[in-house]
Amino acid sequence: MAMGFIKRIFTFGKGAVEETKPPEGVPEETIVSAPEVEAQPEPSSEAVEPPAAVAEAEIVEESPETAFEPPVDIETLPLSDDDPVLGAEIETAGGPASDDAEELARDEAAPVEAVVTPAETEAAIPPSVPSGHLPHKAGEQTETKATAEEATAATETAAPVAHKAPAPSDEIIVASREAEIVERIEEAADDAEPTASDVTTAEADEVTPTETLASELESEPSVISAPVGEMPGRADGGEAAALRESIETAEANAAEAATDVAPTETAEAEPTATPALPKGFSATERKPKEEPVAAPKEKLSWYQRLRRGLARTSSQLTGQIASLFTKRKLDEATLQDLEDLLIQADLGVETAMRITDTLASERYGKDVSGEDVSRIMAGEITKVLSPVAKPLELDLSHKPHVILVVGVNGTGKTTTIGKLAAKLSGAGLKVMLAAGDTFRAAAIEQLKIWAERTNSEIVSSKLGADAAGLAYEAFQQAREKKSDVLIIDTAGRLQNKAELMAELEKIVRVLGKLDPDAPHTVLQTLDATTGQNALQQVEIFRNVAGVSGLIMTKLDGTARGGILVAISAKHKLPVYFIGVGEGIDDLEPFEAKDFAEAIAGVAA
Please state the residue numbers annotated as binding site for GTP: 407-414, 489-493, 553-556
Q: Which residue in 198, 457, 586, 588 binds ligand GTP (CB under 6 A)?
A: 586
**8 A C-beta contact, residue 144 and residue 226:** yes
| Stretch 478-507 residues interacting with ligand GTP (CB under 6 A) | 492
Taken as a whole, the chain contains a residue count of 604
Q: Does 94 bind ligand GTP (CB under 6 A)?
A: no
354: left (phi over 0), alpha (psi -120 to 50) or beta: alpha
Instruction: Give the side-chain half-sphere CA count within 13 A for 43.
Output: 14
Provide the minimum distance between the beta carbon of 435 and ligand GTP in the complex, in angstroms, as a whole number.
Answer: 10
Provide the minimum distance between the beta carbon of 557 and ligand GTP in the complex, in angstroms, as a whole number.
Answer: 7
Helix, strand, or coil here: 521? Answer: strand
Interface segment toward ligand GTP; rule CB under 6 A; list 102-110, 120-128, 171-179, 407-415: 407-415
Q: How would you list the strands of the sheet with 457-460, edge to edge?
A: 91-93, 457-460, 431-434, 485-488, 401-406, 521-527, 549-553, 575-579, 587-589
Q: Which residue in 220, 582, 591, 594 binds ligand GTP (CB under 6 A)?
A: 582
Provide the minimum distance between the beta carbon of 554 and ligand GTP in the complex, in angstroms, as a whole number.
Answer: 4
Provide the minimum distance between the beta carbon of 523 and ligand GTP in the complex, in angstroms, as a whole number.
Answer: 11
Residues with Cβ within 8 Å of 68's Cβ and at least 6 positions away in sequence, in order, are: 62, 463, 464
Provide the minimum distance between the beta carbon of 525 and ligand GTP in the complex, in angstroms, as a whole number.
Answer: 6
Q: Phi then psi for 46, rounded to 5 degrees?
A: -60, -40
3-state DSSP: the chain helix, strand, coil percent, rounded to 5?
50, 10, 40
Provide the minimum distance between the beta carbon of 586 and ligand GTP in the complex, in angstroms, as a whole number.
Answer: 6
Q: Does 553 bind ligand GTP (CB under 6 A)?
A: yes
Distance CA 450, CA 443 (A): 10
Q: Does 529 bind ligand GTP (CB under 6 A)?
A: no
Provide the minimum distance between the beta carbon of 384 and ligand GTP in the complex, in angstroms, as a whole number.
Answer: 22
Q: Which residue in 41, 84, 562, 579 binds ligand GTP (CB under 6 A)?
A: 579
Alpha carbon 520 to its chain's center = 40
Q: Which residues are annotated as a binding site?
A: 407-414, 489-493, 553-556
Provide the minimum distance between the beta carbon of 468 and ligand GTP in the complex, in angstroms, as a whole number.
Answer: 17
Provide the minimum distance between the beta carbon of 391 and ligand GTP in the complex, in angstroms, as a whole number.
Answer: 19
| Stretch 187-206 residues interacting with ligand GTP (CB under 6 A) | none
**8 A C-beta contact, residue 478 and residue 32:** no
Sign of CA dihedral 355, 361, 362, 368: positive
Provide the minimum distance between the beta carbon of 469 and ligand GTP in the complex, in angstroms, as a whole number.
Answer: 19
Interface segment toward ligand GTP; rule CB under 6 A; list 18-26, 132-140, 394-402, 409-417: 409-417
Q: Does 411 bind ligand GTP (CB under 6 A)?
A: yes
Q: 10-49 mask for ligand GTP (x: CB under 6 A)?
A: -----------------------------------x----
Nearer to ligand GTP, 176 or 409 (CB): 409
Nearer to ligand GTP, 490 or 568 (CB): 490
Residues with Cβ within 8 Å of 98's Cβ and at least 6 positions away in sequence, in order, are: 201, 202, 205, 207, 209, 212, 271, 272, 273
Provide the minimum distance between the beta carbon of 420 and ligand GTP in the complex, in angstroms, as a whole number.
Answer: 12
With CA atoms as reference, report the closest residue to 380 among 416, 338, 434, 412. Answer: 338
Q: Which residue in 265, 466, 556, 588 binds ligand GTP (CB under 6 A)?
A: 556
Provide the minimum distance between the beta carbon of 402 and ligand GTP in the complex, in angstroms, as a whole number.
Answer: 18
Q: Where are the alpha helices (DSSP H) in 62-115?
A: 64-67, 99-109
Interface segment toward ligand GTP; rule CB under 6 A; list 3-11, 18-26, 448-456, 581-589: 581-589
Distance CA 426, CA 314 (A): 33
DSSP string, 246-263: HHHHHHHHHHHHHHHS-H
The footprint of ligand GTP on this chain (CB under 6 A) covers a number of residues equal to: 21
Task: Encode 273-309: b = buried (16+ Cβ within 10 Å), e = exposed.
Answer: beeeeeeeeeeeeeeeeeeeeeeeeeeeebeebbbeb
Residues with Cβ within 8 Å of 15's Cβ and at least 6 positions away in sequence, in order, are: 391, 589
Nearer to ligand GTP, 33 or 45 (CB): 45
- Beta strand pairing call for 485-488 and 392-395: unpaired
Nearer to ligand GTP, 334 or 490 (CB): 490
Residue nearest to ligand GTP (CB): 492
| Stretch 420-479 residues interacting with ligand GTP (CB under 6 A) | 437, 440, 443
Distance CA 216, CA 184 (A): 11
Distance CA 95, CA 102 (A): 12
Q: Does 554 bind ligand GTP (CB under 6 A)?
A: yes
127: left (phi over 0), alpha (psi -120 to 50) or beta: alpha
Nearer to ligand GTP, 265 or 586 (CB): 586
**8 A C-beta contact, residue 435 and residue 418:** no
Q: Which residue in 121, 351, 414, 495 binds ligand GTP (CB under 6 A)?
A: 414
Nearer to ligand GTP, 377 or 447 (CB): 447
Provide the minimum distance between the beta carbon of 594 and ligand GTP in the complex, in angstroms, as a whole number.
Answer: 16
The interaxial angle of helices 52-61 and 441-453, nearest 10 deg, is 120
Q: Does 50 bind ligand GTP (CB under 6 A)?
A: no
Q: Does 581 bind ligand GTP (CB under 6 A)?
A: yes
Q: 363-402 mask for ligand GTP (x: CB under 6 A)?
A: ----------------------------------------
Q: Phi then psi for 529, rounded to 5 degrees?
A: -75, -10
Distance CA 244, CA 221 (A): 16
Q: Does 415 bind ligand GTP (CB under 6 A)?
A: yes
How many other CB atoms are found less than 10 A from the CB of residue 107? 16
Nearer to ligand GTP, 192 or 584 (CB): 584
Distance CA 235, CA 471 (A): 106
Q: Does 354 bind ligand GTP (CB under 6 A)?
A: no
Interface segment toward ligand GTP; rule CB under 6 A; list 110-118, 210-218, 241-249, 580-588: 580-588
Give me the residues that bind ligand GTP (CB under 6 A), please: 45, 407, 409-415, 437, 440, 443, 492, 553-554, 556, 579-582, 586
